[in-house]
Every structure is written in C-alpha cells, then in structure tokens.
Amino acid sequence: MTDLPASLYGRAMIEPPSLPTLPSATDDWQPLPARGAPFAAIGTGLASMAVLLLASGVLSLVLRNPWWLPSMLAAAGVGLLGGAWIGWRRHRRTFWRLDPQALGVRRGHLWQSESHVPVSRVQHLDLRRGPLQRAADLATLVVHTAGTRMNTVAIAGLAQEDAERLRDRLARQLDHDDAL
C-alpha cells in the first residue's frame, strides 16, 4: 500500500474490515511456571503406574496369565510414561487470574474447566509447600470458600512469590470487604 498516492490515505478512504481476533488461551491469564511441570509429570506418572500395575496384577491372576511378569512390567511402563505425559500437559494447560471480583482458574485442553471464586465467598487461605516444592521455589495456594459444593480451590505449582502475592492480595480484599 505504500505505492498508492497520498490522496488515497485521506479520511474519506474506508479501511477494509479487519478480521476479529479470538482471545488467546492466556489473555490476561497467567501460566504456571514451567519448573513445576516435571513434578506434575512425576506425580501423575507414579499414580498412573500404580493403578495400571494393580489392574494388570489382578487381571493376570483372574486370567491365570503365564506371562504375568512381562505384562505387569509393560503396564507399569505404559502407566509411568502415559501418566507423565498427561501430568506434564495438564500442568502446562493450567492458568490463573485475579481481578477485583474473583480468582479464576482455567484448566484443560479437551475437557476444559474454568472456576471463578468470588472474593466475597473466600473464608480463609492456606499456602502449602512440601520439601520438593521448597527446593523448586513453588507453592500450593488453597482457597477455602463459603458453601458446601467445591468449597476449596487449590492451585498447585505456583511460583512462591505469585502464591504469596495472591494470598496477600486476596486477604487484603477480604479485609476491605469486611470493613464495608
């Protein structure tokens, strides 16, 4: 368009309509730090391995499988690798956001869930850190809410400074709401 005469750039010229842009998955949403993905992968992989190992053992006993050891080892390997992949992807597809009205948590790719906890429903806040989380400078923020259904929202794998900032900001908003 730079080759066109300057008269075509005047105010009378109508701009072609631009295509609407879809909001990205992280529009205003903060991702979890990448350093937490290996912990999520290991945890999910070990849990999946245990379940498939147990299922393979029971199935081998019921069917009187003479190849019980190789089938259990294969189930353990599939469970470990498949679970690790799922845990890694789940961690990378988890986002959070805090606005003046609510804390939001978005998870998933195929099966998506989005939770919003209104600040007015927050009862108290917990910050949990195990030894591995402390080593990686990570934390889990647990938000306890009023009500019986879905009364806690936990965000595991947050950066320590983000978790503390979220906790402090939610607590300040709680105190401010209580004062009104």
Reading the chain (180 residues) residue by residue, the pLDDT tens digits are 445 454 444 444 455 444 444 344 446 899 999 999 999 999 999 999 999 999 999 999 999 988 889 999 999 999 999 999 999 999 999 999 998 889 999 999 888 999 888 888 888 899 999 999 999 999 999 999 887 777 889 999 999 999 999 999 998 877 766 555
pTM for the model? 0.74
CA distance 3 to 68: 75
CA distance 167 to 61: 50
CA distance 162 to 113: 22
* Burial degree of 157 (CB within 10 A; 0-12, 13-18, 19+): buried
Q: What is the pLDDT of residue 3?
A: 52
Q: What is the pLDDT of residue 178?
A: 59
Q: What is the pLDDT of residue 121?
A: 87
Q: What is the pLDDT of residue 146?
A: 83
Q: What is the 3-state secondary structure (H, E, C) of the chain?
A: CCCCCHHHHCCCCCCCCCCCCCCCCCCCCEECCHHHHHHHHHHHHHHHHHHHHHHHHHHHHHHCCCCHHHHHHHHHHHHHHHHHHHHHHHHHCCEEEECCCEEEEEECCCCCEEEEEEHHHEEEEEEECCHHHHHCCEEEEEEEECCCCCCEEEEEEEEHHHHHHHHHHHHHHHHHHHHC
Q: What is the pLDDT of residue 151?
A: 86
Quickly count: other Cβ atoms within 10 Å of residue 6's Cβ: 6
Partners of 159 in beta bridges:
138
What angle is formed at CA 32 by the lines to CA 134 and CA 48, rounded to 5 degrees?
80
What angle is formed at CA 52 by the lines to CA 109 and CA 156, rounded to 5 degrees?
45
Digit-coded pLDDT (tens) for 118-155: 888 888 899 999 999 999 999 999 999 887 777 889 99
